[in-house]
Every structure is written in C-alpha cells, then in structure tokens.
Chain A
C-alpha cells in the first residue's frame, strides 16, 4: 500500500541521514582538509624557517653575501659567489650534454624503437632514475674519477689543452666528473618527460607530414618538436631543478675547493655540496646561519626553475584541452 508523503512524519527523509552519516561526512571532510592544510603549512614553515635561520647571516653580510667570494670559517667571513659559480657552471654544462641526449632518447622511445625494445629500454632508463644519488657518487669517486684522471683528462688536454677550459693538473675529482655525474642524473628525468610529450603528438599530424613526402627527421623537426616545444623546455627545467639541488653525488666528486676556475680539471664546489660537506658541524652561530643562507639561495633558484616548469606544463595542458 502506498504511503503518502503527507502521512510521513515531517523530516522523515532528513532523519534517514543519521547523525553518524552527518558526523562521518563532516569528520572525513575536516580530517582530509586539515591534512591538506597541514601540507601547505609545512611548505610555509619550510620557507619561513630557512629565511629565519639565514637571518643572522643576512643581517651581517646583507645581499652582498651573494657576490662575495671568500668562505673562511677561521675568520668567520662567508660569501657565496664561488658556490653560485660552481652550481651554475656544473648544472649549465651538464644541461648542455643532457638536452640533446634527452631529446634523442625521447624521440627514439616514442618514434623509432620497435615495440619490445621500447618497453625494455624505457624501463632501463627509469631504473637509472631510481639509482640513489649516493651510489652514483660512489661510482663517480671510485670508478669514474680514476678514469677521468688517467684517460679522459689527458685525452682532452691533448686536443683542447690550448683553451683555458682544459688545462692544469689532472685530478680524480673536480668539475669534470661533477658535470658527468649531473648529466647522468638529469637525462633519465628529462628523457622520460620528453617521451611522454612526443607521444601526445596527434597521429594525423605525423601522417600528414609523411603524406607530404617528408622524411622522418623532417617530420620530427617540422611537427613533433614545434608541437611539444613548451613541454620540452619544462622537461629540461625539471632536470635542471634536480641538478641544481643535487648535494650528495656532487659532494663526493667535486673535491670541495675554493676559487673560481675556468678549467674543468680544477676542483670546485656548489651551493648544495658545500652545505652537505659541512654536516659534521659548523663552528660558530654565524657559520650555521651562512649555511642556511646558502640553502635559501638554493631554494630560491630551484623554486624559480620548478615553478616556471609547472607554469609551462599547465599552459601546455590547457592547449591540449
């Protein structure tokens, strides 16, 4: 028999939503929202703590910390120019090698490789991305380093010794192995992103290009690369972000030295590697604060790089619809 709505007690339907349901909904909402808020707070606290920790050094040295070269714990004088130079040089040169390699690997995996090979090579390169940086550093110092000193540097100086970039004594450590190690760390990240990007190019466009009689390389230059240009820049920026902040592997191979050198055979230092090398404890309050100042500079650099990569990716996604 039918029950008329008017015969039901008022609020019958509402009361079906029991107290437990409403409390549960509210509870899960509150819990998950506070987790999200907590994540935002962590990021805010991170920025605040790094600025706060660097404050004594900022107050003492001011912005000129950035272009002062001397780092002398004995006199309690600190400057970051050496390290900014080392960071920019190693990351920049590593990028110079990593960009063509990553694009080449991305193209091979998306356009050329036959089905079976594609999966295998793809996972091998993903494995390279998963190797912990301390192991890359261990390999860098004990295997790559001696090779660089014995073979690579003499070879380079015999050909290019007349340039200021390739002369001086040969070391197992230094800028050259640091560049190699960073290239190895950038390539798997950037090439994975490149592959994903190249796979988004519509098949019709490629077939259209082939239909016009273009060769494969002309199709890549005319269709694939222009179509994915923004994304490739983002892929490179993501790799650069990793290179800038890489502390451990670089500390192991770069040799922690002062001074600004043109030669890749010299020892050097980067922002991240200087921080890592000081883990056994800085002596004074100002020394600790100056290390945090280095972390702040590093944070600013990587934030700029990563946020621009994100903006590019968002724009790319918008265009894709």
Chain B
C-alpha cells in the first residue's frame, strides 16, 4: 500500500494532459449548449409571465375587442373559438387515427402497413401552412370560411400524431394476450375491441392530448380558414371563429400597446394550457408504457 511514493501522483501531463484538457473543454461546450437552450426557454417563459400580468384580468375572458383607441376589452371570442375548433378537430382526428392504427397494427400485411406508416410520417412533415392552403383551395374557395374548415385543417395535422401514438401502444400489447383471447374462441374484432384497445386506452388518450396541445397553438392553418370573424362571441362553428393563436398573431403586429398586453395575456393562457397538458400527458405516457411493459 505504502509502496507508492507520495510524489508520483496520477496527474496527466504532456500529451495525455492535452488530450484530457481537450475532452474537458468539449464536455464544457456540451454543457453550455444545454444551458443555452434552457436559458432561452427561461427567458421566453419569463417574458410571457412578466408581460402577461398587466393584461390578465377577468375582462380578457369575458369581453371582446374594445372599439378603436379605447382601453380595456378582451379576447373572449378567441377562447370560445379555440375551444370549439380544437374540440371538433379532436372528434374528427381521434376515431380516424385510432382506426388507422388498428388497421396498421392488427390487419395490414407488412408492406401495406409500411406504406401507410410512411405516408403518415410524410403527412406529419408537411408544413402546417401548406395544409391550410390545401383546405383553402379544396373547401374554403368552394364554400366559405368557418370554424369547421379550421377544425378540418387542424384534424389533418392531428391525425398522424394520434395514429402514431396509438400504433406505438398497440405494438406494446403482448402477443400472448391476443392469442389467449383467440384461444378462448373469441373473434378477432371482439379481441381488438374488448381486450387490446382497453389495455391501450391510456396511451391513446395521452397521445390524443399531446396532439391537442400541438394543434391548439397552431396559427398557420387558421389563417386561410377562419379569420373573417365578427367581434362578437359566437358558438356556431358554421361561422368563422376567432382563435387565441390568431389573436396573438394579429395583436403582435399591431402598434397599440393595449393590444400587446392582451397578446401577452393570451400567450400566457395558451402556453400554460399547452405546457401543463403536454407535461402531464408525457408523464402519464411514461407510466402507461411502464405498465404495459410489465415493469
């Protein structure tokens, strides 16, 4: 033990020292990159928090835009509009997305399954503004702007997200569960509806929630589908409806500081909604996956 002389400590010198220092520096760079990303997030959320406070009041949720130059007012119609449009989009995307995933996971031959999955990935990569233009040329030009049109555009964005999430949890259901059910003489459709889907319901719902969080903040598909709204609170999706992201977009480009305050306050509510939803969904997703894997 005491054979090692105290002065020959294991300190890297010369070339080894240089290599170690270089490694240290690179580790520092990686740490800095992560800190930078976190700092940007903190800055952004911090600004939203600080700047939202003057604009946060009950009026924001109950009033509509004040007359030009007058103080006060709110974006009540935007909250209602976002609620309705996102709800319709979810109702459209959820069943189709789950059915597509059921087809891909339970019925389709491998080649077809690959084709459908790749196509959904392609759809997921298409810019949301192009999807807005698509709904515009396909539907809005033939009919008129409405909340339903915006919901259709958002549903197209949500579809690959819901479907992908469902495919992932379906793939985690143990094959033995399906085989056990079929060995009892239970038909395939009952096996899927009564055995497979109930196990995955948690995963499907969290995937859907994440999709909702994503589309609730989308602005680009709204631009061409639901912007010619009136300054009254409307619950009718056959009319064009105001939405929170669109209000933020328009107010951010307006010189009126009163509208800036409302844009920040709207951003605060939107970001709170999106972050709370996506964080809790992610948490639940991890849990349900762990449960499915039996750990």
Contacts and interface: CB of A to CB of B under 8 A. Distances in A.
A104 B30 contact: yes
Given A32-B100, A112-B27, A130 B137 contact: no
B252 A252 contact: yes
A101 B89 CA distance: 35
Q: Which of B22, B37, B274 has the most CB of A within 10 A?
A: B37
B278 interface: yes
B26 to A, nearest CB: 4
A56 B40 CA distance: 44
Interface in B29-83: 29-34, 36-38, 40-41, 43-44, 47-48, 51
A260 interface: no
B154 interface: no
A134 B133 contact: no
A50 B134 contact: yes
Q: Which of B23, B103, B120 has the most CB of A within 10 A?
A: B103
A36 B98 CA distance: 10
A108 interface: yes
A112 B31 contact: yes
Interface of A: 16-17, 21-22, 24-25, 27-29, 31-33, 35-36, 38-40, 42-43, 45-46, 49-50, 52-53, 100-101, 104-105, 107-109, 111-113, 121, 123-128, 130-139, 141-143, 184, 187-188, 191, 215-218, 220, 238, 241, 244-248, 252, 272, 275-276, 279-280, 291-292, 295, 298-299, 302-303, 305-307, 309-310
Contact of A124 (B27, B41, B220): B41
A32 B103 contact: yes
Contacts of B177: none
Contacts, number: 263
Contacts of B99: 31-32, 35-36
Interface string B181-222: 000010111101100000000000000000001101111100
B121 interface: yes
Given A28-B188, A100-B33, A276-B220, A35 B96 contact: yes
Contact of A132 (B26, B51, B100, B274): B274
B210 to A, nearest CB: 9
A134 B223 contact: no
Given A135-B248, A142-B264, 11 more contacts: A28-B193, A29-B107, A33-B103, A104-B33, A130-B213, A132-B218, A134-B219, A238-B125, A245-B128, A272-B127, A302-B130
A248 B37 contact: no
B192 to A, nearest CB: 6
